[in-house]
Amino acid sequence: MNLHMYQPRVEFQNLPRQGVALGTSMLSVERIVAILRRQWPLIASIAGGTLLLVLIYLLTATPMYTASSRILMDTRQTQVLDKDTAIPNTLIDPGFVDSQVEILTSDDLILSIVRRMRLAADPEFIGSNSGAMATISGAIAALFGSDGPPSVERLERIAVGMLKRNLKVERVLTTYVLAVSFRSLDAEKAARITNALTDAYIVGALEAKYQSTKRAGEWLQQRSAELREQATASDRAVQAFKAENNIVGTSRGLMSEQQLTDVNTQLVQARAATAEAKARLDRIEAISGKDLAQPTVTDAINNAVITRLRAQYLDLAAQHTDWSNRYGKTHQATVNLANRMEEMRKSIADEVKRIADSYRSEYEIAKSRESSLESNMNNLVNQAGNSGQAQVKLRNLESTADTYRNLYNNFLEKLQQATQKESFPISEARVISTAVKPDRKSSPKTLLFLIGGIVGGLCFGIGAAFARELLNDVLRTPAEVEDEFDIKCLGVLPDIGPDRPGARKTMALVSRDKAPSKAEAALSRYVIDHPFSRYAETLRNIKVSIDVARLTREVKVIGIVSSLPKEGKTTVAANLGHLIALTGHRTLLIDGDLHTRSLTRELAPRAKTGLLETLRDPRTLGQHIQRSKETGLDFLPSFLVSRMVNSADIMASKAMADMLAVLRENYEYIFVDLAPVMPVTDSKAISHLIDGMVYVIQWGQTSRSAVLESISSSEPIQKKILGAVLNGANPKMLKRIEAYKGSHHNSYYVEG
């Protein structure tokens, strides 16, 4: 594609500033790989540092040993003395298991262990042998505490807190098993404390059950004595009442009771029959007003005659529908069918009425029988009035006596069970795994810490690498330049500054003098000393791009410009001029930066005349141009006694246009080293006199925002940019970025 035909797809002056940030925030697989390739030293250093900290911790950490035991909540043990063992209840409320966890970690239980094993005198539990941090924190706490040595109670509380800190009790998944584990500096001590804790829990549970059973037995014994007295008194009251009222019981009871029972049974049956007859009558009356030909009505009556009539009716209805569709509703045959259907409906209604009359008669008979039984019942009640009152009272007395007797028997049975449990208490818990002395340390876990250190270090390193890339608003690859600004990137120039590898050797070949002027001179002629370097080859690519643009339009005056100072555009301009002049083309290099005149200091430090004098008198052009003997490059310096305030006007003046017109006739390539775009306006002012521009961007230093603001600030600069070049790339990082090109990519370059 010809460069002169290349037009930006997006107008920079209309592009919002935040567009760059949005564009750079999009990550693709290629960009992720590129970031990892560029930042692998940072990732490796962070991962190595993290791993080193982990190793230091592992070497300095005090090893801890953990002993574990397990306790099962088993309710079947408590059913040994239960009376009803045929249907055991083996389910335990999960809340009960969680409550046992709290009991195992309670202060009272742990305090008993501390006192039994005398842990208040153990340095591990009172903080005197707990490490440097514990010693320091203890000393600080002592500054705010009371004077004098700590009391025994305080030492015990400290030991309880330390033991709880290293104790872990948890439920094993959804089972009824509790896992008890304890950490200690001594493996044998960890096992002893764990076993002592489980034993104390079992003994405490048995003691609590014994005390509970004892209190329940005492209460049951007292309550049983009261119930015995009440039952005896109730039996005496029953016997005395029978004697007073001359009531003698038989095997079948009193005659009046038998009669009342029989009549009552018959009355209940009569009422049920009446209710049934009433329900049938209500149902037949409820459906009498409905369409009796409907299936719901027929099904409700469930009468064979009605069912047969309805079937005939349905046949006639189907035939009527067929004839109506075939001959019409007014046809005589259709009318006859309709009349027969109406007769069927009347027959069904008559049958329903007959059934209703039958149901009504049955209801009246049942109602009369019920009334007769009720009258008989009332007579029997009146006859048995006197004896009934005494019998009712007797029954109340017997019921009270039976109640007290049953309560007394139940309480007596419970008292016997409580007495047995008190003499032989059983706990719901039992130890199923006793703690043994651990043969290896539980913490720190060396392998886990090493894996965590490596993984964590890599995660931190990768995170730092991505943060460094995404937060650093700079350009490092041609793809970033082209994606961000739609400008063709002509190449990446490696750093050739004094600090680069091999630069000292290059400086020595130029001169033994280490003065800054000599170093700058060596940089400006780098392509002469290293014609086969990557730097020189990238400049040749810029020349090729310029030549391609010259195929379709005149491109003789080329400006070398950058966004900010110190981006290396002067060095690029000098080496590009030398490179093209070496090929035999008539080439002129102009120092157009009237503010710093860096190019003049590098190529012609002794010049006293130059660009300004030529603009005053174009006829003296030949007197001010200096030619390089090695390359044949013509150079027009700039000499100023003091900095000018109207430099932009001079660069945009008619004299400058006339001078460039004369130079176009005598030179094939005219390079102008222009001032940066952002600090001053000289480049914008002369842009209409320039055929094309090469935009220099400092690799890894110049921000995207600065480049975007510089390019979008001037439409002529946008249209005349032939391409951009990234300058000053770190050779080592550049090699990592371009690792995908293979190991032989740089074999053609000779850096010297």
A 10 A CB-CB count for 426 gives 16
Determine contact, residues 686/453, Cβ cutoff 8 Å: no
347 in a structural domain? yes
What span, in angstroms and rounded, lies between the C-alpha atoms of 667 and 622? 13
What span, in angstroms and rounded, lies between the C-alpha atoms of 413 and 419? 10
What span, in angstroms and rounded, lies between the C-alpha atoms of 60 and 81? 57
Average pLDDT over residues 445-464: 87
Are 330 and 452 in the same domain? no
Average pLDDT over residues 110-125: 87
Are 236 and 337 in the same domain? no
Rank 492-496, 610-614, 692-696 by mean pLDDT and report only the highest: 692-696
| CA atoms lying within 13 Å on the CB side of residue 384 | 16
pLDDT over 70 for what percent of the chain? Answer: 80
What span, in angstroms and rounded, lies between the C-alpha atoms of 513 and 622? 32
Are 590 and 721 in the same domain? yes
Are 103 and 41 in the same domain? no
- Angle value at C-alpha 298, between 297 and 299, nearest 5 degrees: 95
Q: Name the average pLDDT for the chain.
A: 79
At 667, the pLDDT band (50, 70, 90 cuts) reads very high
| Least-confidence region, from 325-339, 647-661, 697-711 | 325-339
A 10 A CB-CB count for 307 gives 13
Amino acid at site 476: R
121 in a structural domain? yes
| The token pair that represents 347 in the structure block | 């027959």
What span, in angstroms and rounded, lies between the C-alpha atoms of 52 and 282? 96
Which secondary structure element, helix H or strand E, spans residue 559, and what is its range? strand 557-562
Q: Is the pLDDT of residue 17 over 50?
A: no
Are 639 and 680 in the same domain? yes
14 in a structural domain? no
Domain with 165, as residue range(s), is 65-210+427-433
Q: Is the pLDDT of residue 370 over 90?
A: no
Q: Is the pLDDT of residue 535 over 50?
A: yes
Are 700 and 642 in the same domain? yes
The position carrying tokens 């981006």 is: 567
Residues 6+ apart with CB under 8 A from 191: 67, 435, 436, 437, 438
Residues 6+ apart with CB under 8 A from 551: 2
474 in a structural domain? no
Determine contact, residues 681/600, Cβ cutoff 8 Å: no
670 in a structural domain? yes
The CATH number of residue 123's host domain is 3.30.1890
The position carrying tokens 């692998």 is: 40
A 10 A CB-CB count for 83 gives 9
Name the pairing type of β-strands 65-73 and 429-433: antiparallel
pLDDT over 90 for what percent of the chain? Answer: 18
pTM comes to 0.51
41 in a structural domain? yes
Are 158 and 53 in the same domain? no
Are 127 and 236 in the same domain? no
Domain count, the chain: 5
| The token pair that represents 86 in the structure block | 């045929």
Are 145 and 118 in the same domain? yes
Q: Which long-range contacts (CB under 8 A, 24 or more apart) does 208-215 make?
A: 209/421, 209/425, 209/426, 209/427, 210/422, 210/425, 213/418, 213/421, 213/422, 213/425, 214/422
Are 243 and 283 in the same domain? no
Average pLDDT over residues 702-718: 88
What span, in angstroms and rounded, lies between the C-alpha atoms of 477 and 734? 9
Read off the pLDDT of residues 45-103 as tens digits, 9 standing for 90 and up: 898 899 899 888 888 888 888 999 998 887 665 554 454 444 445 566 778 888 888 88
More confident of the two residues 401 and 702: 702
Amino acid at site 636: L
More confident of the two residues 752 and 475: 475
| The token pair that represents 10 in the structure block | 């997006």
pLDDT value at position 243?
72
At 477, the pLDDT band (50, 70, 90 cuts) reads confident
Are 670 and 731 in the same domain? yes
10 in a structural domain? no
At 507, the pLDDT band (50, 70, 90 cuts) reads very low
267 in a structural domain? yes
**Torsion angles phi and psi, residue 438, rounded to 5:** -70, 140
At 724, the pLDDT band (50, 70, 90 cuts) reads very high
What span, in angstroms and rounded, lies between the C-alpha atoms of 556 and 733? 35
Determine contact, residues 574/582, Cβ cutoff 8 Å: no
Could you write out the three-class secondary structure of 574-592?
Answer: HHHHHHHHHCCCCEEEEEC
pLDDT value at position 151?
84
In terms of Cα–Cα distance, which of 429, 530, 46, 535 is closest to 208? 429
Read off the pLDDT of residues 210-236 as tens digits, 9 standing for 90 and up: 777 777 777 777 777 887 787 788 888
Q: Is the pLDDT of residue 519 over 60?
A: no
Are 319 and 346 in the same domain? yes
Residues 6+ apart with CB under 8 A from 733: 38, 476, 700
The CATH number of residue 616's host domain is 3.40.50.300
pLDDT value at position 471?
72
Determine contact, residues 287/308, Cβ cutoff 8 Å: no
Strand ranges inside 1-77, DSSP E:
65-73
Question: What is the chain's alpha carbon radius of gyration, rounded to the nearest angstrom?
Answer: 56
